[in-house]
C-alpha cells in the first residue's frame, strides 16, 4: 500500500495593484498624471506631464497615490460646482498648504521649548537636588528634636 497524496496548500491571493499613473482631468491624457508622496513633510503632489497642472495636499502615513489624485478630483468638482467659488487657483491652495505646514512646524518648536522650560524651572534644579535638600532638612529637624530631649531631662 502506498501513502495518500498530500493536499497542496491553496494559492496565495494576489492583492490588486493600485494605479500610480492617472488621467488628467484638464487635458484628458491617459497616464499623464503622476503622484509624488513626501512622507517626511506630509505633502502629496500630483502633476500632469502634458499640460503642467499641479495639485498639492497634506497626507498621512497611510495615504497612497490614488488618495492624492482623488483629492484633486474632489477639489476640481467643488470648484466647478455652482456657487463653489470657481475662481480659486491651485497656486493659492499650495500657498495655503505651505502656510499650514509652517504653522505646524512653529507650533511643534513652541511645544518643545515649553517642555524644556518645564524641565528647567526652579533655577535649573533637578528633582534629585530637591530630594537631597529634603533629606538634609529632615536630618536637621531630627538633630533639633534630639537636642530638645536632652535639655528637658537635665
Using CB atoms within 10 A of its CB, is residue 81 exposed (0-12), middle (13-18) or buried (19+)?
exposed
Is 97 among the domain residues? yes
- How do residues 15-46 score in pLDDT, each as one tens digit? 888 888 999 999 999 999 999 999 999 999 99
* Residues of the domain holding 105: 21-116
- How do residues 101-115 score in pLDDT, each as one tens digit? 778 877 877 877 777
Is 13 among the domain residues? no
Looking up residue 56, the CATH number of its domain turns out to be 2.20.25.190
How many Å apart are CA 91 and CA 85, to the nearest integer?
15
- Stated pTM of the model: 0.48
Among 5-9, 97-101, 121-125, the least confident range = 121-125
Is 62 among the domain residues? yes
Q: What is the pLDDT of residue 15?
A: 84
Q: What is the pLDDT of residue 88?
A: 53
Amino acid at each position: 500500500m502506498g501513502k495518500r497524496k498530500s493536499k497542496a496548500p491553496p494559492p496565495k491571493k494576489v492583492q490588486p495593484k493600485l494605479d500610480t499613473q492617472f488621467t488628467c482631468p484638464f487635458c484628458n491624457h491617459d497616464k499623464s498624471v503622476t503622484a509624488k508622496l513626501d512622507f517626511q513633510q506630509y505633502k502629496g503632489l500630483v502633476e500632469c506631464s502634458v499640460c503642467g497642472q499641479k495639485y498639492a495636499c497634506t497626507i498621512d502615513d497611510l495615504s497612497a497615490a490614488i488618495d492624492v489624485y482623488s483629492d484633486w478630483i474632489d477639489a476640481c468638482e467643488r470648484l466647478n460646482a455652482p456657487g463653489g467659488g470657481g475662481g480659486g487657483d491651485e497656486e493659492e491652495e499650495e500657498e495655503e498648504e505651505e502656510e499650514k505646514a509652517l504653522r505646524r512646524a512653529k507650533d511643534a518648536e513652541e511645544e518643545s521649548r515649553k517642555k524644556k522650560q518645564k524641565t528647567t524651572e526652579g533655577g535649573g534644579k533637578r528633582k534629585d537636588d530637591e530630594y537631597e535638600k529634603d533629606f538634609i532638612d529632615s536630618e536637621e529637624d531630627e538633630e533639633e528634636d534630639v537636642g530638645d530631649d536632652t535639655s528637658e531631662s537635665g
